[in-house]
């Protein structure tokens, strides 16, 4: 028992002491935050809102190409959009609600593979995520980082989703924001969108 406690202590120290000192460590630290159910720390390492806003923008741009595969609640909201101001409001709403869902996945332990079912999902659009995988999410560095300019780097990463058994190859852009590297963007987001759409098509 003492050995197990020492190992747990060592792992917790290693996650904290070397937090985000390199792009690779930023990804490992994000995984530590997921496994520790620490949504605030995850948001510190990952610019979640920026990434989700980009994903929402892509979703709205591609919505007319989904051939009826949009969730009914989203299709209903889109049908009521009449002008650019309404579209901007919808974009902000979806981004905010998706962020709420991601934080729930971390806080509840679902993304760590150890769900606490006493923690219930919140947000105004919870039904929008009824078909989204709540399985364990595992981030794995897939190659070395490459500097792309002052205080920036690209890093290939794999996201394994135990909920559906799929692996998503991510190309991340990170920014040095002293004292940490921070994940700012999924550069190949359109490729991930196409992969998800292909998976949805295969299940029809």
Q: What is the pLDDT along the chain (204 residues), one digit of tens a residue?
A: 444 333 333 334 345 444 458 999 999 999 999 999 999 999 999 999 999 999 999 988 888 676 556 677 777 788 778 788 888 999 999 999 999 999 999 999 999 999 999 998 877 677 678 778 899 999 999 999 999 988 999 999 999 999 999 999 999 999 999 889 999 999 999 999 999 888 877 876
Residue 11: inside a domain: no
pLDDT of residue 184: 98
For residue 161, tell me if it sits in a domain: yes
Nearest CA-CA partner of 143 in 113, 119, 122, 170:
170
* H-only helix segments in the chain: 2-17, 23-35, 39-45, 48-62, 72-79, 84-107, 189-202
> Please, is 198 exposed, middle or buried when counting C-beta atoms within 10 Å of its C-beta (0-12, 13-18, 19+)?
exposed
Q: Is 178 inside a domain boundary?
A: yes
Asked whether residue 133 is domain-assigned, the answer is yes
Q: How high is the pLDDT of residue 22?
A: 95
Determine the pLDDT at residue 198. Answer: 87
Positive or negative CA dihedral for 79, 84, 89, 93?
positive
What integer pLDDT is reported at residue 94 of this predicted model? 92
Q: Is 155 exposed, middle or buried (0-12, 13-18, 19+ CB in 10 A)?
A: buried
pTM for the model:
0.84
Q: Could you give the CA distance from residue 168 to residue 42 in angstroms, rounded to a whole number?
A: 19
SS3 137: strand
Evaluate the omega torsion of the peptide bond into residue 179 and state whether it is cis, within 30 degrees of 0: yes
Q: Which residues pair with 181 in a beta bridge?
A: 176
Phi, psi of 161 (to 5 degrees): -110, 105
Domain annotation covers residue 3: no
What is the CB-side half-sphere exposure of residue 107 using CA atoms within 13 A? Answer: 14
- Classify residue 118: in a domain, yes or no: yes
pLDDT for the residue 68: 55
Structure confidence at residue 67 (pLDDT): 56
Range of the domain at 71: 23-202
Within-domain flag for 17:
no
Domain presence at residue 62: yes
Rounded Cα distance between 174 and 182, Å, is 5
Total domains in the chain come to 1
């Amino acid at each position: 028992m003492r050995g197990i406690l020492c190992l747990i202590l060592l792992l917790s120290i290693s996650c904290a002491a070397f937090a985000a000192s390199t792009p690779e460590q930023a990804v490992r630290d994000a995984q530590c935050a997921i496994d520790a159910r620490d949504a605030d720390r995850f948001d510190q390492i990952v610019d979640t809102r920026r990434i989700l806003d980009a994903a929402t923008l892509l979703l709205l741009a591609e919505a007319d190409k989904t051939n009826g595969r949009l969730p009914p609640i989203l299709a209903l909201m889109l049908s009521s959009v009449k002008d650019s101001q309404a579209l901007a409001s919808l974009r902000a709403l979806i981004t905010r609600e998706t962020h709420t869902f991601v934080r729930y996945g971390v806080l509840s332990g679902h993304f760590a593979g150890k769900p606490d079912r006493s923690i219930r999902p919140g947000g105004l659009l919870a039904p929008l995520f009824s078909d989204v995988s709540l399985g364990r999410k595992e981030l794995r560095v897939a190659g070395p980082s490459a500097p792309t300019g002052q205080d920036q780097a690209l890093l290939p990463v794999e996201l394994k989703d135990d909920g559906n058994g799929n692996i998503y190859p991510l190309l991340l852009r990170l920014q040095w924001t002293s004292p940490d590297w921070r994940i700012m963007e999924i550069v190949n987001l359109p490729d991930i969108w196409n992969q998800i759409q292909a998976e949805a098509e295969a299940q029809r």
